[in-house]
Structure formats: C-alpha cells, structure tokens
Amino acid sequence: MSVERATEASDELVDGFRRLIPQLSRTAAPPTPAELEELLAGNTLLFVSRDSSGTLNGALSLVLYRIPTGLRGRVEDVVVDESARGQGVGEALVRAALAAAAEAGARSVGLTSAPEREAANRLYRRLGFEQRATNVYVWRPG
C-alpha cells in the first residue's frame, strides 16, 4: 500500500471517486473533473492510497485554513474501499494528513466521526485525537 498527495484530476482519480463516494455517502454525488480541479487548486490537500496493484483504495481531504488564532486543519471525507478496510489504509491516510498539517504549521487538526463508526473512532483516539465536549451544529440552505 502507498499513500500520496493527489495533484491532478486524472481520469483515474475521477473513476476512483465514482467508486468510493457511494461508500462514504448515500446522498453526495462523486465530484466531477472540474470539481476535483477546483478542490486541488484550493486550500485542500487530497491524499489517496493505492493497493499493491496500484488501484486507488482510499482517500482523505485535509483542509488547512487560517483564523485569527492561527493555522488550523480539518480532516474530512475519509473513505476506504470496503475491500481494503482493516488493513491500515485509514491509518496511513490520517498519518499522511497529520504530517502535512504539522509541516504547514497547523496548531491543531480536527475531525468528526459518527459514533457508530467504531473502528474509525478507535483509530482516531489511538492516533492522539481527543474527544471534545462540544455541540456540533450544521446549517443547510433551504
């Protein structure tokens, strides 16, 4: 397995997300090539993992953003192909994101995870994430 930062919206990346996004969300559509280009051109670092044959089998987005209290990071849209779960792919992706955040000078990296994602929650705690006592709110237009 290998992890790398994606830097171009190749056909392979587009096809990989067509396969992975339905495993992450029942309602979100896979990103179009133009949307991937926009993502890669912005302040989001996209990490992908590949199995030994080179097939894309996981992805993670790290958003870096500056606020008055410093540079922060946020991990979003972590997805590992069903066939690769339990093989260290998620851990490798998260470690790559944390290394990039540290290199960029981020003061902290946050994420959220649904309580029923027990394996993911164990992983995050094992990697040093602390559960915060906070309320999480979401706003959606119309």
The residue type found at 65 is Y
pTM score above 0.85 = yes
Mean pLDDT by 10 residues, the chain (142 residues): 96 97 96 96 96 96 97 97 96 98 98 93 96 90 90
Task: Give the pLDDT confidence score for residue 71 in this predicted structure.
Answer: 97
Q: Report the run of H or E that residue 110 belongs to, with start and end.
A: strand 108-110
Which residues have C-beta within 8 Å of that of residue 98, sequence separation ≥ 6?
Answer: 109, 127
Please report, for the chain, the start and end positions of each structural domain, with discontinuous segments joined by +: 2-126
Beta sheet of 2-6, edge-to-edge order: 2-6, 44-50, 56-67, 70-80, 108-110
- What is the model's pLDDT at position 136? 86
Instruction: Assign domain 2-126 to its CATH superfamily.
Output: Gcn5-related N-acetyltransferase (GNAT) (3.40.630.30)
**Pairing between strand 70-80 and 108-110?**
parallel
Cβ-proximal residues to 142 (8 Å cutoff; 6+ apart), any chain: none
pLDDT of residue 142: 84
Residue 110: predicted pLDDT:
97
